[in-house]
Amino acid sequence: MATYVELRALMDDNDLENRCQVACIVAANTIQTEDAGTPNHDNRLAWAEKAYGNPAALAAKVQMAVLAANKDATVAQIQGSTDAQLQTKVDEAIDVFAQNGV
């Protein structure tokens, strides 16, 4: 299990940050084609538009959620996660940030 100090250090991990940015863009692309009946769809679309405009800013927030969701993993496990595993955690976090078009 990563310590809080280690989790905080991972917030500055450039590779993880870059991967979260790409995962946000992939999520935004998925949102663009999701069914309009998807819960929170309008807010998710607004989030997706912002992701394309400034992926670094949105990814920084999402990265914190990803780290919190992986608090029981080791640093090596977090850094060694597959793109698919990271994408799942990013996708799970989006609705937290896609409220009221934020």
- Chain segment 22-78, per-residue pLDDT in tens: 999 999 999 999 999 999 999 999 999 999 999 999 999 999 999 999 999 999 999
Exposed/middle/buried for residue 66 (C-beta within 10 Å: 0-12, 13-18, 19+): buried
Say whether pTM exceeds 0.95. no
- Please state, in angstroms and rounded to a whole number, the distance separating the CA atoms of residues 51 and 64: 16
- Please state, in angstroms and rounded to a whole number, the distance separating the CA atoms of residues 98 and 3: 29
pLDDT of residue 99: 85
Lowest mean pLDDT segment, chosen from 49-53, 58-62, 87-91, 97-101 = 97-101
- Please state, in angstroms and rounded to a whole number, the distance separating the CA atoms of residues 48 and 91: 12
